[in-house]
Amino acid sequence: MTRPITFLFAALLMLGALVPTDAEARFGDVLRCDRDRLTSFWEQDIAGSALTGRGTVCATNSGLYSNLSVRGLTPGFAYTVWWVYIDRPASCAGVRLTPENSPVPFPEPERFAGSCGLADFFTPSESGQGLDPLAVFGRMDSAVARSAGLTWFSGDLRGMNPTPGSQVWLFVFGHGAADTNDKRQLARQLLTPEDPGAGVPHLGIEGRPFGYPAGVVVLEF
């Protein structure tokens, strides 16, 4: 019985070597992948649980592909994940936001993205008239956390080829308990950052933010 099992195992290994990875199957040749640990942001301050996890982004000949595993999410809470792209990290403000220097409830983690951070979502334009943010963002995925507290997220950004030296973030936003009684509000929780700074009324809301940075993975290309 040992030899047939050995032959079968070897055949399965050879078959596995011929099967493309998920990124290759969806996009084609993988040019580069980067993987790193998740930095917990304000989830512990707001929901009482520090997040852990890992995220991967692969650059391919057709775009970017991502997957993210997050543990420690609060069961029944809504979460969104956002692509963040910073083309020139050397131009980042190098300013860490704290309650003492900006209207944030808690300090952002120290140097989680080198010299980049929340301040780069509010970069002044060269003319001084309005903003020209260095950080560009868009929704990647969303979910209501299950009882296990472990959730997988993934996303595609087809047509995107990051500049060498750029940063790609997988930014997790928390939105509190999912409102299953009001589907319009639930849609806001799963589709928008719920932060007026992102743009009122469609990407944000009037008044205080309901969405908050919960965790982030910063990857470099």
140-151 residue pLDDT tens? 999 999 988 789
Using the predicted structure, report yes or no on whether residue 20 has a pLDDT greater than 60: no
Q: What is the CA radius of gyration of the chain?
A: 20
Q: Could you tell me the two tokens for 20? A: 């493309």
Q: Please report whether residue 2 resides in a domain.
A: no
How far apart CA 19 and CA 59 sit, in angstroms, is 19
Q: Please report whether residue 117 resides in a domain.
A: yes
Nearest to 52 by CA among 77, 72, 31: 72
Ramachandran class of 98: left when φ > 0, alpha when ψ lies in -120 to 50, beta otherwise: beta
What is the band of 22 on the pLDDT scale with cuts at 50, 70, 90?
low
Q: Please report whether residue 187 resides in a domain.
A: yes
Q: How many domains does one find in the chain? A: 1
Q: Please report whether residue 3 resides in a domain.
A: no
Arithmetic mean of pLDDT, 153-157? 97
How far apart CA 221 and CA 216 sit, in angstroms, is 16
Q: Please report whether residue 6 resides in a domain.
A: no
**Burial group, residue 73, by CB count within 10 angstroms (0-12, 13-18, 19+):** buried
Arithmetic mean of pLDDT, 129-137? 93
Which alpha helices (DSSP H) does the chain contain, by range?
2-18, 22-27, 43-47, 183-191
Specify whether the CB–CB gap between 91 and 163 falls below 8 A. no
What is the band of 127 on the pLDDT scale with cuts at 50, 70, 90?
confident
Number of other residues whose CB lies within 10 A of the CB of residue 41: 24
DSSP annotation of 154 reads: E
Report pLDDT for 152: 96
Report pLDDT for 185: 95
Higher pLDDT, 22 or 110: 110
Helix (H, G, I), strand (E, B) or coil at 16: helix
Helix, strand, coil percent content, the chain, rounded in steps of 5: 20, 35, 40
Using the predicted structure, report yes or no on whether residue 25 has a pLDDT greater than 90: no
Q: Please report whether residue 16 resides in a domain.
A: no
> What's the pTM?
0.86
Its domain, for residue 209, covers: 25-220
Cα torsion 188, 217, 26, 62 to 10°: value is 100
Using the predicted structure, report yes or no on whether residue 105 has a pLDDT greater than 70: yes
Q: Please report whether residue 17 resides in a domain.
A: no
Q: Please report whether residue 11 resides in a domain.
A: no
How far apart CA 170 and CA 185 sit, in angstroms, is 24
